[in-house]
Amino acid sequence: MNNRQKRRAEIARFRRAGMLVTWLMDANDPSLHEVPPLLVRAAHIWYEDLPAAPRHCICCLLLIWDRREVGALLLSKPPNAIGASINAVCNRCWADQTLDEIEYAATEVLRAVVPNGHFEPLSS
């Protein structure tokens, strides 16, 4: 299966779930290891793929080539899923943009997978 087919299959799996559980975390946050193990593994793989597979910042679309350029990670997965999605916010946007601006960019990225989706607060 080529990368395009793999990505389409991945998106189709996320869409079937109808909802995503998400985390927006500082890349240096020690609690990153407290998210579900699936997401920790996915984040490590995402980092390992840099610089061979550079990624875009979800805010400014700047290419991210190195782990040091990542300010935050947007982690998402359907409930009870075996797959996860990792997106990044570059250091500059993480430092300079407001949380509202970053959340707007995150919402736009996630809406590609779950159309008309919205954020809901976590229940305690």
Smallest CA-to-CA distance from 88 within 42, 121, 119, 52 is with: 42
Which of 88-92, 104-108, 112-116 ranks highest by mean pLDDT? 88-92
Distance of CA 117 to the CA centre of its chain: 15
Distance CA 90, CA 67 (A): 10
* pLDDT on residue 7: 53
Q: What average pLDDT does range 13-19 have in this prediction?
A: 53
* Helix/strand/coil for 27: coil
Question: pLDDT tens, 57-98?
Answer: 999 999 999 999 999 999 988 877 777 889 999 999 999 999
pTM beyond 0.85: the answer is no
* Helix/strand/coil for 40: helix
**Do 63 and 55 form a contact (C-beta atoms < 8 A)?**
yes
Q: Mean pLDDT for the chain?
A: 82
pLDDT category at 34 given cuts 50, 70, 90 is confident
Strands 63-64 and 21-26: unpaired
pLDDT at 17 over 80: no
Distance CA 67, CA 52 (A): 12
